[in-house]
Structure 1
Amino acid sequence: MRGADSYSESLFTTVKLEDFVPASHPLRPIRTWINEALAKMDERFSAMYEADIKGGRPSIAPEKLMRAMLLQVLYSIRSERQLMEQVTYNLLFRWFVGLSIDDPVWNHSVFSKNRDRLIEHEAVTQLFNATVEMAKARGLLSGEHFSVDGTLIQAWAGHKSIRRKDGNDDDRPPENWHGEKRSNDTHESKTDPDSRLYRKSNAAPALLSYLGHVLTDNRHGLVVDVHTTQADGKAERAAAAVMLGDVRSDTQRITVGADKAYDTRGFVKECRALNVTPHVAQNLKRNGGSAIDARTTRHAGYEISQIKRKCIEQCFGWGKSVGPIRQVMVRGLAKVDQVFTLTMAAYNLTRLRGLAEVRP
């Protein structure tokens, strides 16, 4: 018998959001892990709102805020306005964030303002560190063999925003650059002053950019440290030294794989001073020759590091195809760092979920 095309709502319902989410949904383990990490951050969240204890309207709960920010990365949602729209009608998103069916959804501008509060207290950094601790507790990190690399993050600013720092071109049309050379020393973007003109190779155009740096563990390619800097020719090696300093051990020698851009005598010397063996790809075309010789390359571990270091591109590829770091929609180094760190935390969570299916 043909069913009737009718619609009627019940006055009351006892259905819970939990009932709409399949038991096998990939967000279920991620939400469990996130809730465990957020529970350990309770003191930090309390410190964030100590100044507001005298009064005022309650803000967005930081736990809900961070779960919503993760959803934005995991589901490639391009803006806060669109995120709030989807949380309004998407029951899965409401369940993940922690909103009931009847709870009102925040205004997108209020959401952005509360998100910026997290920067001062480094809440996103602590969440990222929690994902690393989860991997360590599950025995997924080697703690001995690492890879390091950086990637270009295009800034949310265009070439027309680049003007002279001394203001001598204020009466000149922004698109007219004929006969004038632009340089980071003399010019800056008025839209995003922290961004810098940078290009990865001579064949690529110079774009307003930042640089994101990651240190990954070679066992499963999980990210163990992140760093964001202004775009500079020496930033990759400087950031790598900082991250290696965070994971170094006085009692155990570790290795780090890297591409030819890290084959400089200064970086190799700094690695060895940190008790780190630099398994850097040899740049034989470099003036003066490679900083790595047969004392390093003759070992089997060097070849393994050169194979495993290419896995670092997976986190960059995921962050630019699924995540928002191909071109960030925020301005300023602090906000770009927050987006990059959150993206790498989300990448770790997706990797942990996949590894949990293989190793229950």
Structure 2
Amino acid sequence: MVNDVLATMSPDFSKLYSKRGRPSIAPEKLLRSILLQAFFSIRSETLLLEQLRYNMLFRWFVGLGMDDAIWDVSTFSKNRERFLRGEISDKFFAAVVEIARENNLASDDHFTVDGTLLQAWASHKSFKPKNDDDNPPSSGRNPDVDFTGTTRKNDTHESTTDADARLYRKSRNTASVLGYLAHALMENRNGLIVGIRTTRATGTAEREAAIELIRGVGGARRITLGADKGYDAAAFVEELRAMNVTPHIARNLSRRSAIDERTTRHAGYEASQRKRKRVEEIFGWAKATANLRQVHYRGLRLVSETVRWTSIAFNLVRLRNLGVA
């Protein structure tokens, strides 16, 4: 499946590379290597190259011969910006989703949306007041910091190592961490990802991202969108209905729910509530297998790229399990 997608993307690669100068590392090999990191839980590119030196399975998948030299780790860094500029991951993701649709494995009518918190590659000690020129940096690499009695907010503080990271917690029972939010739109037939977004961690980011994601798959026909009770907000539900989307959202009974019996009386609502829990399998696989619990890059652009490649890897594994390959 990877080879089929890469074959269709060859014209896109040609636009990114110059025809003069020394031959570059084939982009197909680099992209297969990125997928290997997610498939086999390899936590860094340095460890991946170490594996490529002796692992025949990895060499075969990437397209390296037994005597081919392994490139330097800086090759990933130099080509990452090129892939971002050419929107390679977006096109790859769309091609994999198209494989699912061609095999009639993806629903066009029933979807589920959810978000998860990803811990940023930044520590609490880097979260300091903005424009704080009165306190010079402490000597030493790991200074002692006491946060007792201090109030830290995203409005007044930011991380000195990752300015896009935000202090956020998923619930009252969890600690606040510097992180990002990843949002996935899942089709309900086989649990495949058909839309992915990464945003800064804010209180409204999940509902805002859900509107963007469902707008990308909606049309004249009526579709359904399942979600947990965190999406049970009157303004969000009304916006979905205006877009011809039936909100199959779990009711938040701790306050006045925006979901009434007009929706819950139908059998489709109960089916969506059963199906929507499968979206947690996506996040569980991404964090446990693809090492996405804490992202190893800084900045929203690079984190978004990592999340997108992880989503591509998940869909490929899922399609393989469904017998497409």
Structure 1 and Structure 2 fold alike (TM over 0.5): yes
Q: Within 2, Cα distance between the matches of 1:224 and 1:258?
A: 15
- Aligned-residue offset at 1:330: 0.7
Question: Could you tell me whether the CA contact under 8 Å between 1:59 and 1:114 is conserved in 2?
Answer: no
1:239 partner letter: A
Match of 1:116 in 2: 81
Q: Within 2, Cα distance between the matches of 1:257 and 1:35?
A: 34
When the two chains are superposed, the root-mean-square deviation of aligned CA atoms in Å is: 1.4
Per-residue CA deviation, residues 325-359 of structure 1 (Å, 9 max, x unaligned), is: 100111110111111111111111111011107xx
Q: Within 1, Cα distance between the matches of 2:64 and 2:134?
A: 51
- The TM-score, its normalising length taken from structure 2, stands at 0.95
Match of 2:28 in 1: 63
- Aligned ranges 1:170-319 → 2 under 5 Å: 170-171=135-136, 173=138, 175-250=145-220, 252-286=221-255, 289-319=256-286
Per-residue CA deviation, residues 117-139 of structure 1 (Å, 9 max, x unaligned), is: 21121111111111110100000
- Aligned-residue offset at 1:113: 2.1
Unaligned segments of structure 2, at least 5 residues: none
Are 1:36 and 2:4 matched, yes or no? yes
Unaligned segments of structure 1, at least 5 residues: 1-32
Match of 2:319 in 1: 352
Q: Within 1, Cα distance between the matches of 2:160 and 2:24?
A: 32
Q: Within 1, Cα distance between the matches of 2:302 and 2:218?
A: 28
Q: Within 2, Cα distance between the matches of 1:108 and 1:283?
A: 49
- Aligned-residue offset at 1:142: 1.7
Q: Which has the larger radius of gyration?
A: 1
Are 1:331 and 2:298 matched, yes or no? yes
Structure number with greater CO (CA < 8 Å, separation at least 6) is: 2
% same residue? 54
Match of 2:130 in 1: 165
1:337 partner letter: S
Q: Within 2, Cα distance between the matches of 1:256 and 1:178?
A: 43
Question: Could you tell me whether the CA contact under 8 Å between 1:197 and 1:207 is conserved in 2?
Answer: yes
SS of 2:150's partner is coil
2:298 partner letter: R
- Aligned-residue offset at 1:180: 2.2
Task: Count residues in correspondence.
Answer: 320
- Aligned ranges 1:31-110 → 2 under 5 Å: 33-49=1-17, 52-55=18-21, 57-110=22-75
Equivalent in 273, 288, 309 of residue 321 of structure 1: 288
Question: Could you tell me whether the CA contact under 8 Å between 1:163 and 1:169 is conserved in 2?
Answer: no
Runs of 4 or more off by more than 4 Å in structure 1? none
- The TM-score, its normalising length taken from structure 1, stands at 0.86
Equivalent in 134, 143, 160 of residue 108 of structure 2: 143
Question: Could you tell me whether the CA contact under 8 Å between 1:60 and 1:111 is conserved in 2?
Answer: no
SS of 2:121's partner is coil
- Aligned-residue offset at 1:176: 3.1
Question: Could you tell me whether the CA contact under 8 Å between 1:144 and 1:254 is conserved in 2?
Answer: yes
- Aligned-residue offset at 1:116: 3.2
2:11 partner letter: E
Q: Within 1, Cα distance between the matches of 2:201 and 2:304?
A: 13
1:181 partner letter: T
SS of 1:170's partner is coil
Q: Within 1, Cα distance between the matches of 2:109 and 2:54?
A: 46
